[in-house]
Amino acid sequence: MIESIDFSLVNWSRGQFAMIAFFHWIFIPITIGTTYVIAIAQTIYVKTGDPSWEKLAKFWAKLFGINFAIGVGTGIILGLEFGTNWANYSWIAGDIFGAPLAAEGIMAFFLESTFIAVMFFGWGKIGKKFHLVSCYLVAFGASLSALWILVANAWMNYPVGMVFNPDTARHEMVDFWAVLLSPFAVNKFLHTISSCFVIGSFFMIAISSWYLLKGRNILLAKRSLVLAGTFGLLSSVFVVATGDGSAYNVANHQPAKLAAMEGLYDGTEGAGLVTVGMLTPGKKVGDDKPDFVFRHEIPKALSFLSFRDFNAFVPGANDLVFGNEKYDIMPADAKIDRGRKALDALALYKEAKDAGDEVLKAEALATFRQHESFMGYGHLLSPDAILPNIPFIFYSFRVMVGGGIFLVLAAALILFLTLKNRIERRKWLLRLGIFSFPLAFLASMAGWIVAEVGRQPWTIQGLLPTMVSTSNINVTAVLITFWMFFAILSVLLIAEIRIMIYAIKKGPGTKKKGDTHA
């Protein structure tokens, strides 16, 4: 299929995608998260006629607008990155992967962009109800957009609903509903969208906390804390709950990722869940170094969370690489061998087809189908290549989980004290509210690292390795564009942060009727 692999091209292509995704993710959760709070505040305004609620909605909409523009800008680069930098993937997976993207465009992008224009430019110009509906449609459009792209991403982790067509040399969709409603897709959407709500909420909590520390915009800040605190608490609890679902899916379908998340080298029954720990530096599969320098674990919890059975066997990295007969785990070199047989059979099928040799073609196809499910392994160069970077995933997972639990507690405490009208006196808590915002980002970034780096070496789990998914271009082209985008997006990010800071410092504008101190 691909005669030689240029690993520098693969790594820089991965780097470019990761870099742009990193920038994109800075903006998107705030955009998605704040839309609902804007809509709720505007609803209260329409219901009560109290202009201070409208002022609150407008203020958050202003910050939303600053963020939205750069979010869509980075989004288009990311969307077209599949074509520019991952052309082989785009062909091999495009029949399945492209459809959700097109659905996203038709169903969500137009909805979002049309009604954002109405929301921004309709204030005071169109009827209140139409304007309010527009606010909700923006929120709904943003979430719908997230649904489709996350369905596509989930499919990469759990490829279902398709067959490989040897004539076109690509996977082709046979069951749209299996793709849309796979347990990975449903859980990924719920987990990710709620993490956006959490980040959006803590964005508002941080700014409101700063206002209270400075003694400014007290009413807006307190109302925002109630809205964002409620929204943030519910969402963060939901994130934790769906996180359990994510881990369950990973355990059942991506065992190498789970082994990396837990730093588990030797599989065991009744496996414990490591809460904190330090992996032994330089530890490799198959060596006899201890797994951890130190660790604290909850006995049997990993088995239970993974398979809903306290005594279930959880495979470790060594089991996956070297195999484990007792638990019927095939060694990676056997999978690689079968993968190569599949690729050879596919090549033979093509030759027989060109030569018009129907007998040979049928034989080659039968051999291919026999080994097809291991096709991706045929590209791997060594058995341990089936594993992602274990320390990176292990520590990222703990940052995500630790951050998530902290955010639940922080949201609960902030909401409780705001409702009791005692938040202003707790300066430390207000500072914590500000600090929680970058922490929420850190936790969600760590989550993406677990999901995406943890999926390596695959773009499509088990079927297509990353190293054969790139475009067939030279690394110089990727390097040039990497640094160009890095420079442009860095400048725009700094500009965005500064504009945001100015807008926050300026606040909701001149004091009008209704903006009184609570």
Q: Which residues from 446-485 bind another protein, rule CB under 8 A?
A: 471-474, 476-477, 481, 484-485
Q: HSE-up of 433 (CA within 13 Å, CB side)?
A: 36
| Ordered DSSP codes for 47-88 | HH--HHHHHHHHHHHHHHHHHHHHHHHHHHHHHHHHHHH-HH
Choose, by CB under 8 A, the member of 31, 35, 85, 217 that binds another protein. Answer: 85
CB of 486 to another protein, least distance (A): 12
> Could you give phi then psi for residue 228, rounded to 5 degrees?
-70, -35
Confirm or reject binding of residue 503 to another protein (CB under 8 A).
yes
> Of 94-102, 192-200, 276-284, 405-413, which part binds another protein (CB under 8 A)?
94-102
Among 452, 315, 460, 461, which Cα is nearest to 397's?
A: 452
Segment contacting another protein by CB under 8 A, of 60-68, 203-211, 364-372, 436-444: 60-68
**Length of the chain (residues):** 518
Stretch binding another protein (CB under 8 A), from 115-123, 191-199, 212-220, 238-246? 115-123
Per-residue burial over 84-104, b = 16 or more CB atoms within 10 Å of its CB, e = otherwise: bbbbbbbebbbbbbebbbebb
Q: Is 495 in the site for another protein (CB under 8 A)?
A: yes
Residue 107 binding another protein, by CB under 8 A: yes
Q: Is 168 in the site for another protein (CB under 8 A)?
A: yes
Q: Which helix (H) or strand (E) holds 339?
A: helix 332-355
Closer of 189 and 394 to another protein (Cβ): 189
Q: State the CB neighbour count (10 A cutoff) for residue 161.
A: 19
Q: Give SS3 for 508.
A: coil
Binds another protein (CB under 8 A): choice among 40, 66, 221, 401: 66
Give yes or no for residue 391 binding another protein (CB under 8 A).
Answer: no
The count of C-alpha atoms lying within 13 angstroms of the C-alpha of 255, restricted to the half-sphere facing its C-beta, is 19
Give the one residue of 39, 103, 400, 463 binding another protein; rule: CB under 8 A: 103
**H or E stretch covering 512:** none
In the numeric block, the tokens 């957009």 are attached to: 145
Closer by beta carbon to another protein, 63 or else 440:
63
**Min separation Cβ 442 and another protein, Å:** 24
Q: How far is the CB of 172 from another protein (least distance, A)?
A: 4
Determine phi and psi for 274, rounding to 5 degrees.
-75, 120
Give the Cα separation of 163 and 258 in Å (integer): 26
- CA-based Rg of the chain, rounded to a whole angstrom? 25
With a CB cutoff of 8 Å and minimum separation 6, the contacts of 85 are 13, 16, 17, 470, 471, 478
Question: For another protein, which residue of 45, 60, 115, 231 counts as binding (CB under 8 A)?
Answer: 115
Structure-token match 């605190």, residue found:
229
CA 185/CA 171 separation, integer angstroms: 18
Residue selected from 36, 86, 189, 368 as contacting another protein according to rule CB under 8 A: 86
Nearest to 37 by CA among 239, 241, 220, 186: 220
Binding letters toward another protein, positions 172-191, x by CB under 8 A? xxx-x---------------
> Which CB sits closer to another protein, 61 or 305?
61
**Which CB, 434 or 504, lies closer to another protein?**
504
Task: Give me the 322-361 binding string for another protein, x by CB under 8 A, dash otherwise.
Answer: ----------------------------x---x-------
Size of the site for another protein (CB under 8 A): 90
DSSP state of 272: P
Under rule CB under 8 A, which residues in 6-35 are in contact with another protein? none
Smallest distance, another protein to C-beta of residue 397, A: 32
**Given the rule CB under 8 A, which of 41-49, 67-75, 259-267, 433-441 is the region that contacts another protein?**
67-75
User: Where does residue 466 fall: left (phi above 0), alpha (psi -120 to 50 degrees), or beta otherwise?
Assistant: alpha
- By the rule CB under 8 A, 111 interacts with another protein: yes
Distance from C-alpha of 336 to C-alpha of 71, rounded to nearest angstrom: 41
Shortest approach of another protein to residue 245 CB, angstroms?
26
Nearest CA to 159 out of 179, 143, 137, 140 is that of 179
User: What gap in Å lies between CA 158 and CA 320, rounded to an integer?
Assistant: 18
Stretch that binds another protein, among 34-42, 62-70, 254-262, 297-305 (CB under 8 A): 62-70
Q: Minimum CB separation from another protein for residue 109, in Å?
A: 5
Minimum distance, C-beta of residue 512 to another protein, in the bound complex (Å): 12
Nearer to another protein, 62 or 371 (CB): 62
Q: Out of 8, 47, 102, 490, name the contact with another protein by CB under 8 A.
A: 102
5 binds another protein (CB under 8 A): no
Judged by beta carbon, residue 121 or residue 294, the one nearer another protein is 121
389-411 residues labelled b (16+ CB within 10 A) or e (exposed): ebebbbbbbbbbbbbbebbbebb
Tell which one of 2, 241, 355, 366 touches another protein (CB under 8 A): 2
Binding status of residue 409 toward another protein by CB under 8 A: no
For residue 457, cis peptide bond before it (omega within 30 degrees of 0): yes
Of 54 and 291, which CB lies nearer to another protein in the complex structure? 54
Identify which of residues 122 and 277 has a Cβ nearer to another protein in the complex. Answer: 122
| By the rule CB under 8 A, 91 interacts with another protein | yes
x/- letters, 36..55, toward another protein (CB under 8 A): --------------------
